Amino acid sequence: MTSTTLEPHFFRHESVRLVAALARVFGVQGLALAEDVAQEALARALEVWKVEGPPANPSGWLFATAKRLAIDALRRDRTARTYAPALARWLESEWTRSAELDAAFAPGALADDELRMMFTVCHPRLGEDAQVALVLQLCCGFSVPEIAAAFFASPAAIEKRLTRAKKTLAETRSLFELREADVVARLPSVHSAIYLLFNEGYHGASPESAVRDDLCGEALRLVSVLAEQPHAARPRTHALAALLFLHAARLPARVSPEGRLRSLFEQDRARWDAALVARGLAFLERSAEGEVVSEYHLEAAIAAQHATATSRAGTPWRAIVTLYDALYAMRPSPVVALSRAVAIAEVDGPARGLAELRAIEGRERLASYPFYEAALGELSLRAGEGDAARGHFERAASLARSDMELAFFRARVAACGRTGDDDGCAEPSQAARTIETSPVRTGRSRTLRSS
């Protein structure tokens, strides 16, 4: 057995669990030490398992290794006196007994640690951008470049943001206790981070692949844990869970066996995961128990319309336009407007859709986003404007963020040379949550689109 037999997201997930467990021991002021120990344990595992293969209990092996590394680090470090009482309690606890390692790393035992970490980093003294960035790094295992791509910011800017946020967080000294009032106050930031995690996996900016199942799976796991926590199991949480499960159901059909990105209109709906659709619809029904309709409710309702339609022609596009109208009224943004324009084109034709795309307020914010140009290209092609369509697709290709996206746009450029081919028209794919990083913020947009 080699390390390649482990799940693709194993090390990302275990890093999160190690940091959460160690932070409970050392407190938030020891967060840097917890991160260093966790990374050293993971590096040790890669080195040893490459030769010997993973052990029967990889998680237990990692935790035992992290424990020994932490003890060594504390003995060397000048701050040992600060952490000595916590270390003594740890050494005397059940965590040191090998018979308890499996129990300590069981999902139920770790769920509270992960939840505490998520809510700890969403401290009210931090801005929402900093909160979300910390959740992505400490609770989801994102690297700095991945966070930068998700925020449309430079890695240097994200590094500075994380450093400042951790300094502020260190002053709190302890992990968050899951009290109802504080959970409710911090819940929106936790929702945002989970949404962004799924979004980056579903159709993000990674140069490796436009679709990353491991990130989507981690987001589904986190939202499921959140939905089981009594203080967090609220209608907005259930609506977010509905949205993510309904979109995750399409993952098996989003990439062809040859590795080609497929639009909604090209997908084989028989390959959609019926079990995930059912879970999403069940969460959507539970989300209706409250009186407040959130943006997640509206996005989930749009996803449900697609998930339950048997074909493109059988999709209730007018209902979808109405839902986008409500979403835009709640959260006006260029990305929501783009999605709405595509749906309008299905109802009133490509000319009307093009007019809506060109009238988007703040569309300059989409200048570096390839799927705005792709949307213009698709509707121009359907309107019989082949030359204009080719130009839009070529600009989209120049903005492609991965080889998969590049191949997708080049195929659409080639399609402009064929006439009478409307079946291959692709809907613009998923937009990442846009968080402006300039001093003048014109608004936020995050919409899971229907591809």
Convert the pLDDT of each residue in 380-409 to its tens digit: 999 999 999 999 999 999 999 888 889 999
What tens digit of pLDDT does each residue of 180-194 get? 787 888 898 889 888
pLDDT more than 70, % of the chain: 78
Q: Which residue has the higher pLDDT, 282 or 11?
A: 282
- Residue 64, Cβ neighbours under 10 Å: how many? 17
Give the global pTM.
Answer: 0.76
Pick from 208, 260, 258: which is nearest to 402 by CA? 208
Does residue 77 lie within any of the structural domains?
yes
Does residue 189 lie within any of the structural domains?
no
Q: Which residue has the higher pLDDT, 133 or 343?
A: 343
Does residue 339 lie within any of the structural domains?
no
Query: Chain-centre distance of CA 127, in angstroms?
Result: 19
Q: Which residue has the higher pLDDT, 70 or 381?
A: 381
How many angstroms separate the CA atoms of 256 and 210, rounded? 13
Calculate mean pLDDT across residues 258-269.
85
User: Can you list the positions of beta strands (E) in 162-214?
Assistant: none
Q: Is the dihedral of CA 13, 273, 321, 386 positive or negative?
A: positive
Q: Is the pLDDT of residue 38 over 60?
A: yes
Q: Which residue has the higher pLDDT, 264 or 27?
A: 264
The mean pLDDT value of the chain amounts to: 80
**pLDDT on residue 202:** 86
Does residue 44 lie within any of the structural domains?
yes
Does residue 56 lie within any of the structural domains?
yes
Query: Chain-centre distance of CA 54, in angstroms?
Result: 28
Contact 409, 431 (CB under 8 A): no
Most confident of 135-139, 261-265, 267-271: 267-271
Does residue 67 lie within any of the structural domains?
yes
How many angstroms separate the CA atoms of 190 and 136, rounded? 10
Minimum mean pLDDT among 64-73, 363-372, 375-384: which range? 64-73
> Which residue range forms the structural domain that includes residue 23?
1-105
**pLDDT on residue 162:** 93
Half-sphere exposure of 345 (CA within 13 A, CB side): 28
Calculate mean pLDDT across residues 269-283.
96
Q: Is the pLDDT of residue 345 over 80?
A: yes
What tens digit of pLDDT does each residue of 99-144 get? 433 444 444 444 567 778 888 888 888 887 888 888 888 888 888 8
Q: Is the pLDDT of residue 445 over 70?
A: no
Calculate mean pLDDT across residues 57-70.
82
**pLDDT on residue 349:** 96
Q: Which residue has the higher pLDDT, 73 or 295?
A: 295
Cβ-count burial 378-397 (b if 16+ within 10 Å, e if not): bbbbbbebeebbbbbbbbbb
How many angstroms separate the CA atoms of 431 and 199, rounded? 8
Query: What would you report as the CA-atom Rg of the chain, rounded to the nearest whole angstrom?
Result: 23
How many angstroms separate the CA atoms of 182 and 184, rounded? 5
Q: Is the pLDDT of residue 2 over 60?
A: no
Half-sphere exposure of 254 (CA within 13 A, CB side): 24
Amino acid letter for position 350: P
Q: Is the pLDDT of residue 338 over 90?
A: yes
**pLDDT on residue 164:** 92
- The size of the chain, in residues, is 451
Collapse the DSSP code of 312 into the 3-class scheme (helix H, G, I; strand E, B; otherwise coil) and give the result.
coil
Does residue 322 lie within any of the structural domains?
no
Minimum mean pLDDT among 256-260, 290-294, 311-315: which range? 256-260
**pLDDT on residue 326:** 97
Query: Chain-centre distance of CA 253, in angstroms?
Result: 19
Calculate mean pLDDT across residues 321-338.
95
Amino acid letter for position 290: G
Amino acid letter for position 263: S
Angle (deg, nearest 10), helices 107-121 and 213-228:
90
Q: Is the pLDDT of residue 435 over 50?
A: no
Calculate mean pLDDT across residues 243-268.
89
Res. 13 pLDDT band, cuts 50 70 90: confident
Q: Is the pLDDT of residue 312 over 60?
A: yes
**pLDDT on residue 105:** 41
How many angstroms separate the CA atoms of 109 and 441, rounded? 41
How many angstroms separate the CA atoms of 197 and 218, rounded? 8
**pLDDT on residue 200:** 79
How many angstroms separate the CA atoms of 357 and 361, rounded? 9
Q: Is the dihedral of CA 20, 142, 10, 48 positive or negative?
A: negative
**pLDDT on residue 12:** 78
Total count of domains within the chain: 1
pLDDT more than 90, % of the chain: 35
**pLDDT on residue 3:** 43
Res. 290 pLDDT band, cuts 50 70 90: confident
Q: Which residue has the higher pLDDT, 255 or 432?
A: 255
Q: What are the Cα distances from residue 175, in Å, to 1, 6, 114, 224, 281? A: 38, 30, 10, 21, 34
Res. 208 pLDDT band, cuts 50 70 90: low
Minimum mean pLDDT among 371-375, 395-399, 428-432: which range? 428-432
Calculate mean pLDDT across residues 327-338.
93
Q: Which residue has the higher pLDDT, 220 or 93?
A: 220
**pLDDT on residue 84:** 58
Q: Helices H, strands E: what count in the chain?
A: 21, 0
Contact 378, 429 (CB under 8 A): no
Does residue 20 lie within any of the structural domains?
yes
